[in-house]
Amino acid sequence: MKKVFRLKGLGCANCAARMEREIGKMDGVREVTVNFLTAKMTIEADDEKMAEILPAAEKIVKRIEPQVVMERA
């Protein structure tokens, strides 16, 4: 399953790279890309794990850049 999100308020290219690295390490995540220029994040993960991956990914995003709002694109 693949889901795309808009990262409103993303202001740091290094932070985007950190988000990508940390979310990519999560169990069940096959691929994650965070594009700083378009402020979009794509998560490809196992269908049965997506429900637990999304809230954990949002926590990672908030920890790295607290002002960022993650919304479905």
Q: What is the pLDDT of residue 1?
A: 94
CATH topology of domain 2-72: Alpha-Beta Plaits (3.30.70)
Domain boundary assignment for the chain: 2-72
Helix (H) / strand (E) containing 72? strand 69-72
User: What local confidence, expressed as pLDDT, does residue 45 receive?
Assistant: 97
Report the pLDDT value the prediction gives residue 23, as an integer from 0 to 100. Answer: 98
Question: Contact at 8 Å (CB) between 73 and 38?
Answer: no
* Distance between first and last Cα of the chain: 15
For residue 73, give the amino acid letter. A
Q: For position 52, what pLDDT does the model report? A: 96
pLDDT at site 62: 97
pLDDT digits (tens, 9 = 90+) for 19-67: 999 999 999 999 999 999 999 999 999 999 999 999 999 999 999 999 9
pLDDT score at 32 = 98
